[in-house]
Chains A and B, each alone.
Chain A
Amino acid sequence: MIKVEHVTKRFASAKAVDDISFEILRGEIVGFLGPNGAGKTTLMRLLATYLAPTQGRILIDGLDVFSHSLDARRHIGYLPENAPLYPEMRVDEYLSFRAKLKGMPRRKRRERMEEMKVLCGLKDVERRIIGQLSKGYGQRLALADSLIHNPELLILDEPTLGLDPNQIRAVRELIRALGRRCTVVLATHSLAETEAICQRVFIMNHGRIVASDSPEHLVGQLQGNVSVAVEIAGPSDEVAERLRRVSGVLRVLPVGPAINVPASGSALWGRYRLECHPGVDIRPAVSGIAAAQGWPLRELSLEALDLEDVFIKLTAGRGKTPVAYGAAPPEAGELRRVNP
């Protein structure tokens, strides 16, 4: 659906996006996560054809967004940051204007507008003037606008910014539902949001993608799950199965045979990484299992992944302003910039 090849966007003073390449498949819900100024909005604007890349190229559904800009735009629904709208228009009037502009034929337009108003919960404000609506309704109207021409690709820049918790939940539900019909690309600085919606997450910082993974893994890392390294000699399937059953263990990752020297008997040394709940020390249980089964154990060590360590490692680097979590991050943490 989207193919980005070595894209760089340079502004007068700095590179906002620095040599980024990635591919997004049809039907995926992908999140771009990063602190303020990481280049997320610039990247969204590049994808939405509002800006042209300084270098590299972007293909949407096989169409180059620069040379086939209009065709590409017909496939895209774009919700810019802060959901800009014309304050003097009425909700109905605005939707109708946008539908016309996007080339919806008259007969389909009425029907589609009704559908969107129901979907986005705008039914009870359809006659109201946009300037008098609350931020939440504005956001939903902009979302309805981005969906009205039934796009295959939805680009959302901070779709829940400035909404109250109930509205955030509703918008997330909506996006998740939409993800069944179209590809969704989402820029956000909220970890919880990516966790709730996305199948894949890219972490951006200083215009680069510094990590990409499924949110479970990433959130696991970022929330500071404890990781325990174990080297044990025994039949690998059985060892893994036993370790998984230890209470407090989330995942067992076989790291592969460490050093292929046979231990006593025929079993080979196997190395495993266990992801565990923080606050539970599983090491006594593991050593207990090893002793009970008669499996030689030669390493059992804690690789504590501190939350701030991981995040600073991912997003702060190169001596710039450190970025860290607040003391008690709400909802698994919004990223906050800490003033030096």
Chain B
Amino acid sequence: MTNIIILLKRQLRAYFYTPLAYVVMVVFLVVSGLSFCRPLIQHLGEQIGLGDLLFSAPYFWVAVLATIALITMPLFAEERRTGTLEMLLTAPVTDLQVVLGKYAGALLFFLLLTLPTAAYFILLKAMAPGMAPLDWAPIFTGYLILWLIGSCFIAIGVFVSALTRSQVVAAIGCFIVVSILFFLDTARLVLPGAAAQETLAYLSSAQHIRDFAQGIVDTRPIVLYFSLTVFFVFATVKVIEARQWK
């Protein structure tokens, strides 16, 4: 555990030492701010659901996917390219600790990145005193699904980063994989059959977001994202271990 925390701290610091992190943060906050304001302006004077404000905007989610690809790309690819991975893996730490340390570092950075968006709701309340009282439940469940999807997709990003020594390849690869997963439900248009429809509905991130943004907590997506996370962390450990046998 101590080792994981040491590695996590280093990873988190490494983010803030590079300009990339700040660029990602600025772009993310601009895009998420826009996706919060746009529905407000479009539906001026009308009644809209709180869940529609942030979490249902497609470009908000594209920003989330791109951000995840960018924050996970250096994790292993950069260390492999510069050779520091050799230093890391010959220190008395297990491969699992290394993977978990990096994963936790990226996840914590993602939480720090998305947390300020909660201020939008607080600001909205402060600036519109005549508004009906805010229902915080769908906001909480909205963040819950954001972080669930985030933790799963970051695990995928870590996995892709461990496969290559090029950050660019890692970022593009991760973005493609998580986009396919995220937009899987569009395949419903071309795949007829009740079984396919049902499976895709179960896997569809868009459906999960719609539910959670209305305050509906479904345990099935929680299990889905959690098990995918565990699987990809495990797969990453295996990829790192495989260096010994190549």
* A residues adjacent to B (C-beta < 8 A): 11-12, 45, 48-52, 70, 73-74, 76, 78, 80-82, 84-89, 93, 97-98, 100-103, 142, 145
Q: Which residues of A contact B90 (CB under 8 A)?
A: 48-50, 73, 76, 78, 80
Kindly provide the distance from the CB of B189 to the nearest chain A CB, expressed in whole angstroms: 43
Q: Which residues of A contact B6 (CB under 8 A)?
A: 97, 100-101
Interface set, chain B 1-60, CB cutoff 8 A to A: 2-3, 6-7, 10, 13-14, 17-18
Tell me whether B89 is interfacial, beta carbon within 8 Å: yes
Chain B count of residues within 8 A CB distance of the other chain: 24
Q: Is A102's CB under 8 angstroms from B92's CB?
A: yes
Q: Is the interface of A mostly helix, strand, loop or mixed?
A: loop
Kindly provide the distance from the CB of A15 to the nearest chain B CB, expressed in whole angstroms: 14
| B87, B244, B245 pick with most chain A CB within 10 angstroms | B87
Q: Is B86's CB under 8 angstroms from A80's CB?
A: yes
Q: Is B83's CB under 8 angstroms from A98's CB?
A: no
User: In whole angstroms, what is the CA distance A145 to B94 when docked?
Assistant: 19
Tell me whether B227 is interfacial, beta carbon within 8 Å: no
Q: Which residues of A contact B94 (CB under 8 A)?
A: 70
Partner of A86, one of B2, B14, B93, B243: B14
A-B contact number at CB 8 A: 65
Q: Which residues of B contact A93 (CB under 8 A)?
A: 13
Q: Is B243's CB under 8 angstroms from A145's CB?
A: no
A-B contact pairs, 23 of them (CB 8 A): A12-B246, A48-B90, A50-B89, A50-B90, A52-B244, A70-B94, A81-B83, A84-B87, A85-B84, A85-B87, A86-B14, A86-B84, A87-B82, A89-B13, A89-B14, A97-B6, A98-B87, A100-B6, A101-B7, A101-B92, A101-B93, A102-B92, A103-B92
B114-150: CB near A (< 8 Å → 1, else 0) gives: 0000000000000000000000000000000000000
* B residues adjacent to A (C-beta < 8 A): 2-3, 6-7, 10, 13-14, 17-18, 82-84, 86-87, 89-94, 243-246
Q: Is B243's CB under 8 angstroms from A98's CB?
A: no
8 shortest interchain CB distances as A-B pairs: A84-B83, A52-B244, A88-B17, A73-B92, A84-B84, A80-B86, A48-B90, A78-B90
Q: Which residues of A contact B89 (CB under 8 A)?
A: 50
Q: Is B17's CB under 8 angstroms from A80's CB?
A: no
User: In whole angstroms, what is the CA distance A89 to B11 when docked?
Assistant: 11
Q: Which residues of A contact B92 (CB under 8 A)?
A: 70, 73-74, 101-103
User: In whole angstroms, what is the CA distance A142 to B245 when docked?
Assistant: 26
Q: Which residues of A contact B14 (CB under 8 A)?
A: 86, 88-89
Q: Which residues of B contact A73 (CB under 8 A)?
A: 90-92
Kindly provide the distance from the CB of B40 to the nearest chain A CB, expressed in whole angstroms: 40
Q: Is B243's CB under 8 angstroms from A51's CB?
A: yes
User: In whole angstroms, what is the CA distance A91 to B7 when docked?
Assistant: 17
Q: Is B83's CB under 8 angstroms from A80's CB?
A: yes
Q: Is A89's CB under 8 angstroms from B17's CB?
A: yes
Q: Is B18's CB under 8 angstroms from A88's CB?
A: yes
Kindly provide the distance from the CB of A67 to the nearest chain B CB, expressed in whole angstroms: 13
Q: Is B245's CB under 8 angstroms from A52's CB?
A: yes
Kindly provide the distance from the CB of A63 to the nearest chain B CB, expressed in whole angstroms: 12
Q: Is B245's CB under 8 angstroms from A84's CB?
A: no
Kindly provide the distance from the CB of A98 to the nearest chain B CB, expressed in whole angstroms: 7
User: In whole angstroms, what is the CA distance A73 to B13 when docked?
Assistant: 26
User: In whole angstroms, what is the CA distance A51 to B89 when docked?
Assistant: 10
Given A78-B90, A80-B83, A101-B93, 18 additional A-B pairs, CB 8 A: A11-B246, A49-B90, A50-B90, A50-B243, A51-B243, A51-B244, A73-B90, A74-B92, A80-B86, A82-B83, A84-B82, A84-B86, A85-B87, A86-B10, A93-B13, A97-B10, A102-B91, A145-B87
